Amino acid sequence: MAAPASERHRPSFQLGPQRVVQMDGDQLVRVGARPGLIRYIRNIWAFRHFLQYDAHARTSSQNNLDSLGRFWMVMNPLLQAAVYFFIFGYILETHRGIVNFIGYLIIGVLTFRFIQGAVVSASNSIAGNQQVVQAFNFPRACLPISSAVRELFATVPTFVVMAVLVYFIGDYQIADMERANITLDWKWLMFFPAIFLGLMVMTGLGLILARVVANYNDVKHLISIGTRLWFYASAVIFSVDRFADRGHDWIITVMYYNPAFCILDIIRDAWLYDGVGEPFRWAVLGGWAVGAMVIGMIIFWRGEETYGRER
């Protein structure tokens, strides 16, 4: 092992002659240097097959250890929705003032699960994949992006379940719940752009968090607290109007600018209330998607050379 830093010195002697090698460095590149942003993005594009295959392979092997296998991809969200319904709808009665509460709750819980999963797995993607990072030379942004995409792949069965449930029992009434008819039409397709924009927001946030977690592992603990807070700030299990009644107007403002709330609100509007989503929601969500992606990419790219180090 080399001498500790404090005792470092140039060797005090050498018998061979000291030589200086002069050269023209035009042909050379610095190994491991971070490329320019445009080039970086182009590199990511070149690695798109890796990204997609990685997401696919890991999704399909996710439930390998369970005897029921991929059945859990469907079962898990169902059970979760049932628990939330029992506690918040039935016992705590948060459903007051919400039309089609069952559908409202199902969409909220299942979609937010995807949002949370994508951010959390993207933020862990560098710290948790050191082996891959050190073994291969690819643009590191592939990992957070692939994690977010993987989460989307893994949630596809959930979304199918969600659509089926909402269509068949979304307007079911228990006791005094209000109801409006749910009809299947083209407006349901609004789901896709909303989720796509949502995925962009998640990826952008994930890129930022991935860099932070790679440098400061401690942040991981804060992320789980943060997503919990986010959960309650996104009107997943109750309606925004509850706050309006009590004069907490600032909470409503926060919610209106919250991308997760925008996603939920657009999907609910399209599936439950026969609308296409308020333009303001689309604008906020679009702004978040572009902003998070650009800022996240720049922040992540600037740390490109730091991700491979030993921790």
Partner 1 sequence: MSTPTSPYTPRRANWPARNGNAGESLDLDPEVFDDGFGFNEIEEIAWDDHPLTQNAPQVETVDPEKVSVAVDSASKIYRIRSGSEHKNSTKRIGRHLQRALGSGWSEIPALDELSFVVNRGETVGVIGTNGSGKSTLMKLLTGKIRPTSGEVFATSTPVMLGVNAALVREISGRENIKLGCLAMGLSPKEAQKKFDMIVEISGLQDALDRPLKAYSSGMASRLQFAIATSVDPDILLIDEALNTGDAQFRSRTKKRLDEVRAQAGCVFLVSHSLGTIKQMCTRVIWIEQGRMLADGDPEWVCAQYQEYTDHKSNGRMRAAQIVYDRTQLKLSPIQVEFIDGTRPTKAG
Binding marks (x or -) toward partner 1, 241..280, rule CB under 8 A?
----------------------------------------
Contact between 38 and partner 1 per CB under 8 A: no
- The burial class, CB within 10 Å (0-12 / 13-18 / 19+), for 227 is middle
- CA distances to 232, 283, 289, 300 from 297, rounded to whole Å, are 28, 21, 12, 5
Contact between 221 and partner 1 per CB under 8 A: no
206: left (phi over 0), alpha (psi -120 to 50) or beta: alpha
Contact between 5 and partner 1 per CB under 8 A: yes
Query: Of residues 25, 91, 229, 279, which one binds partner 1 by CB under 8 A?
Result: 25
Q: What is the DSSP string of 118-148?
A: HHHHHHHTTGGGHHHHHH--S-TTHHHHHHH
Decide: 267 and 190 in contact? Cβ < 8 Å. yes
Contact between 137 and partner 1 per CB under 8 A: yes
Stretch of residues binding partner 1 (CB under 8 A), selected from 60-68, 107-115, 118-126, 197-205: 60-68
The whole-angstrom separation of Cα 289 and Cα 280 is 14
Beta carbon nearer to partner 1, 139 or 277: 139
Contact between 225 and partner 1 per CB under 8 A: no
How far from chain centre, in Å, is Cα 77?
17
Query: Of residues 91, 131, 246, 250, which one binds partner 1 by CB under 8 A?
Result: 131
Contact between 302 and partner 1 per CB under 8 A: no
Beta carbon nearer to partner 1, 146 or 258: 146
Beta carbon nearer to partner 1, 128 or 291: 128
How far from chain centre, in Å, is Cα 135?
25
Tokens of 139: 């643009």
Beta carbon nearer to partner 1, 27 or 181: 27
- CA distances to 112, 167, 169, 194, 298 from 106, rounded to whole Å, are 10, 11, 10, 17, 36
Contact between 17 and partner 1 per CB under 8 A: yes
Smallest distance, partner 1 to C-beta of residue 263, A: 30
Other CB atoms within 10 A of residue 80 CB: 15
**Furthest-apart CA pair in the chain: how many Å?**
95
Tokens of 162: 């969600």
Beta carbon nearer to partner 1, 16 or 247: 16
Tokens of 33: 């240097």
Contact between 220 and partner 1 per CB under 8 A: no
The whole-angstrom separation of Cα 105 and Cα 98 is 10
Smallest distance, partner 1 to C-beta of residue 311, A: 6
Stretch of residues binding partner 1 (CB under 8 A), selected from 48-56, 90-98, 159-167, 295-303: 48-56
The whole-angstrom separation of Cα 297 and Cα 288 is 13
Smallest distance, partner 1 to C-beta of residue 196, A: 24
Contact between 226 and partner 1 per CB under 8 A: no
Query: Of residues 54, 151, 171, 269, which one binds partner 1 by CB under 8 A?
Result: 54
How many residues sit close enough to partner 1 to count as binding (CB under 8 A)? 60
Q: Fill in the amino acid letter for 174.
A: I
Contact between 30 and partner 1 per CB under 8 A: yes
Point out which residues bind partner 1 (CB under 8 A): 1-5, 8, 10-36, 39, 46-47, 49-50, 53-54, 57-58, 60-61, 64, 131-138, 217, 305-306, 308-311
